[in-house]
């Protein structure tokens, strides 16, 4: 999925959830900066999913949009690079911050994906996450 596509998906998801987008997502950029932008989006949406605050399930279209969110190829390559450097013990301080940001975003995406799969399951739809 392109970054431009991801920005449009987050707009659809936010609208379906009644959320207010608090940042503008640029169409370009990547690496830690891209992960940080995605992290802000995920945190904003995740706040809507705290148990007890939003008892209604997500609409199937919204759930599928959430399940389509992925890190791009550039970010995946960067995460592999950082992982190898971490295993070798050669991460710089800024790279440690970068890998921590990727980890937080990945964790948040995991929570969103779980909520989306559960919503689809409760609706009797296929909740497979490819």
* Residue 121 pLDDT: 87
End-to-end, the C-alpha distance of the chain in Å comes to: 14
Q: For 79-123, write each residue's pLDDT tens digit.
A: 999 999 999 999 999 999 999 999 999 998 898 899 889 888 888
> Model confidence at 28, in pLDDT bands (50, 70, 90)?
very low
CA atoms of 116 and 129, how far apart (whole Å): 10
The answer to whether position 82 is within a domain reads yes
The answer to whether position 129 is within a domain reads no
The predicted model gives 47-55 an average pLDDT of: 53
CA 113, 118, 124, 129 dihedral sign is positive
State pTM to two decimals. 0.57
In this structure, the dihedral spanned by the alpha carbons of residues 64, 65, 66 and 70, taken in order and rounded to 10 degrees, is 110
Number of domains in the chain: 1
What whole-number percentage of the chain has pLDDT above 90? 25
CA atoms of 84 and 63, how far apart (whole Å): 33
The answer to whether position 127 is within a domain reads no
Give the range of the structural domain holding residue 54, as residue numbers without chain letter: 3-122
CA 77, 39, 58, 52 dihedral sign is positive
The answer to whether position 65 is within a domain reads yes
């Amino acid at each position: 999925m392109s970054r431009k596509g991801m920005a449009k998906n987050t707009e659809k998801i936010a609208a379906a959830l009644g959320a207010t987008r608090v940042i503008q997502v640029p169409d370009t950029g990547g690496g830690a900066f891209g992960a940080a932008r995605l992290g802000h989006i995920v945190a904003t949406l995740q706040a809507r999913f705290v148990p007890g605050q939003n008892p209604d399930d997500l609409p199937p279209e919204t759930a599928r949009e959430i399940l389509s969110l992925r890190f791009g190829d550039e970010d995946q390559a960067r995460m592999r690079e950082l992982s190898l450097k971490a295993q070798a013990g050669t991460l710089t301080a800024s790279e440690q911050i970068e890998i921590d940001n990727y980890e937080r975003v990945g964790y948040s995406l995991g929570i969103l994906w779980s909520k989306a799969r559960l919503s689809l399951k409760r609706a009797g739809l296929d909740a497979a996450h490819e």
